[in-house]
Amino acid sequence: MRHMILIARREYLSYVATIGFWVSLCMIPIFLILGLALPVLLDRASPTRNFTVIDPSGRFISVMETAISDDRKEQIGAVLDGLILIDGETDGLKAARQALADGRSEAEIAALLGPRGKTTMAAVRSDFRLVPAPAQTADGLRPFLIEDKKLDTPRGPETLSAAILIDSTEDQKVGIQYWSTNITEQRLKRLVRNAVRDQMRLEGFARAGIDFSLVQEITDLGPQITSLSPEKNNDEAEVTAQDRMPYMVAIMFAFVLWSVVFSVANMLLTSVIEEKSNKILDSLLCAAPLRSILIGKLFGVAAVSFTLLAGWAMAGLLTAWLASTVTHTNQDNLNGLLFAASNPGLFLPFFGYFVFGYLMFGSIFLALGSLCETLQEAQTLMTPMIFLMMVPMMALVFVMQDPQSPILMVLSWIPLFTPYIMMARLPTDPALSEIIGTTLVMVATTVLVLWAAGRVFRAGTMYGAGSDYFKKMLTGLLSKK
């Protein structure tokens, strides 16, 4: 026992006592905040692109102005829908959504949102701006498009990103020339094409004597879907963001579980290889029993993983609190997240699945490391394990779509995948027999893997077995037959 504790302590301090470990841990909230803010910052950093329209017939200029205005309204609507998804349909968000539909000003919409109104409107940026044409021909516009010349605007000199030349014929056919150096831009093309198409249809209906407003009214018809849960009372049956929180937390727990197990298992692999190549492992074998070394290493790195989990939890809470404060998000969401994360029905299984998932993969990687002299040699043995570990990661995507999928139910019974798949499926209330059955299979497999890993670790450290150990073992078994 004493040897095991000393080796576990040495293994733990070899990681935790380094400055790099704590620096990387402290960087987590920074990276989380950057991950949340970077898409917004990149979007805000992109300038509003100026484009102009040359339309000798004059039929489509006003249509383009309306299209730009409608595009901004759609972006505001998308932001409001995102807030509704997070906060639920609060009175303020309902009123803001209705105000947008009624065509009220952005200032009025911001006022309905309360303290975060200004922040919300600032998050909506106009991607395109329609400007007067500096020339009436393609040749005249070319210097502006290749930035040899600048547009003279009230904001100062600016570049012209695109020019739209519309050619109308007497037989009602319309051709559009899209001039731009940005040949990958598609959004403005779609906006222009849809605006011209809608105007052509409007004129076509008018020529046929059909009231376009009636057509538009019929086109806009559609049902309003409300999600209801049969597990709640009729008066409170509507599904809210709080109801979805356990599912989100379970997916997050499964991802964290996978990330930690994968990270610390690699620590065990590299640690054994380095100690073996530097003859440190030989010294340990002279001072302690082999079993104490194996268990001590597993316990030491397990303590490192719990330190990582504590750091990640604090970083996640800090990031959630900052995001909630900056965006003025409903505080109930943060409380709901904390409540779901602290639910014993998720919290306790998380640690149980972590222990068995870590013991399985940790012992496997520890055994593989004992067979290798260099990291390059270990890569040949690690490749199948990495592909194997990617399976539950890819399966988590399908858990979000259909947690009760038959494929996921089958994967839940594979012990190497059980911790991650079952963790993500727990909020869907799988059958008790399935929970108990998969757990028993996982525990039995863990015991078997630990026993087998001990045999391989002994062969690699004491008898000099190499990376061809499994090949020789298989050859020996076949020769006996």
Indicate whether 154 and 277 sit together in one domain. no
Chain centroid to CA 38: 13
Indicate whether 291 and 326 sit together in one domain. yes
Position 386 pLDDT exceeds 50: yes
Number of domains in the chain: 2
Indicate whether 207 and 62 sit together in one domain. yes
Residue 468: count of CB within 10 angstroms of its CB: 10
Indicate whether 343 and 443 sit together in one domain. yes
Indicate whether 376 and 283 sit together in one domain. yes
Range(s) of the domain holding residue 368: 2-34+240-480
Residue 205 domain flag: yes
Chain centroid to CA 320: 15
Please state, in angstroms and rounded to a whole number, the distance separating the CA atoms of residues 289 and 6.
12
Indicate whether 288 and 333 sit together in one domain. yes
Please state, in angstroms and rounded to a whole number, the distance separating the CA atoms of residues 240 and 445.
40
Please state, in angstroms and rounded to a whole number, the distance separating the CA atoms of residues 403 and 421.
9
Position 435 pLDDT exceeds 70: yes
Indicate whether 22 and 111 sit together in one domain. no
Indicate whether 71 and 201 sit together in one domain. yes
Residue 298 domain flag: yes
Q: The whole model's pTM is what?
A: 0.65
3-state secondary structure of 312: helix
Percent over 70 (pLDDT), the chain = 79
Query: Token pair for residue 34?
Result: 């950057």
- 369, 466 Cβ separation under 8 angstroms: no
Indicate whether 276 and 316 sit together in one domain. yes
Residue 381 domain flag: yes
Chain centroid to CA 420: 16
Indicate whether 91 and 162 sit together in one domain. yes
- Please give the single-letter amino acid code of residue 172: Q
Residue 259 domain flag: yes
Using one digit for the tens of pLDDT, what is the confidence trace for 91-108?
777 777 778 777 777 777
Indicate whether 180 and 290 sit together in one domain. no
Locate all alpha helices (DSSP H) within 402-468, ordered by sequence.
406-412, 418-425, 432-462
Residue 226 domain flag: no
- 193, 53 Cβ separation under 8 angstroms: no
Please state, in angstroms and rounded to a whole number, the distance separating the CA atoms of residues 322 and 364.
40
Using one digit for the tens of pLDDT, what is the confidence trace for 7-59?
778 878 877 888 877 887 777 667 766 666 666 566 555 677 888 888 888 88
Residue 20 domain flag: yes
Residue 224 domain flag: no
| Average pLDDT rounded to a whole number, residues 453-461 | 77
| Average pLDDT rounded to a whole number, residues 397-421 | 86
Write out the H or E segment, with its range, that includes residue 5.
helix 2-16
- 113, 103 Cβ separation under 8 angstroms: no
Please state, in angstroms and rounded to a whole number, the distance separating the CA atoms of residues 273 and 173.
73
Residue 366 domain flag: yes
| Average pLDDT rounded to a whole number, residues 394-405 | 81
